[in-house]
Amino acid sequence: MTELLGIYNYWIYVVLMMIGFYGVIAKKNLIKQAIALGLFQTGIFLFYISMAVVDGGTAPIWTTIGDGSIKALGPYDNPLPHVLILTAIVVSVSVLAVALAIIINIKWKYGTIEYDEITAMDRASGGGDDD
């Protein structure tokens, strides 16, 4: 039981991803879908950061202990995934901002941000495709 609780960050990652996935699939409001996509991305970020921890690893800058030997004092965090996730967070925020700008334009054009209503309006005007 303690082994399952020891990896709680992976459980949080799965819960965040599933909440985000549910929101993208089940919600028809475009803003709710955009926020759910952000939650899904946050779960992915947590997963990559969690995988960066190496138990028993040593940092590239080694420290010797009293007798001259090198010993891992605890978990080592690989910095490369952290740097990549920082970049991904910037891209994620930018994508969310563009999505919200597009949603605002959709609201101005159709008067609603509900996917079903927008699809019905497109089909009634004959301008939508049948997918």
Domains of the chain, by residue range, sit at 2-125
Q: CB-based burial of residue 12 (10 Å sphere; 0-12 exposed, 13-18 middle, 19+ buried)?
A: middle
Q: Which residue's structure tokens are 């899904």? A: 40
Taking only the tens of pLDDT, the chain with its 131 residues reads 556 656 788 889 999 999 999 999 999 999 999 999 999 999 999 998 888 877 666 665 655 666 666 665 566 777 888 899 999 999 999 999 999 999 999 999 999 999 999 999 989 988 655 55
- pTM for the model stands at 0.76
CA 128, CA 107: separation in Å to the nearest integer? 17
CATH class of 2-125: mainly alpha
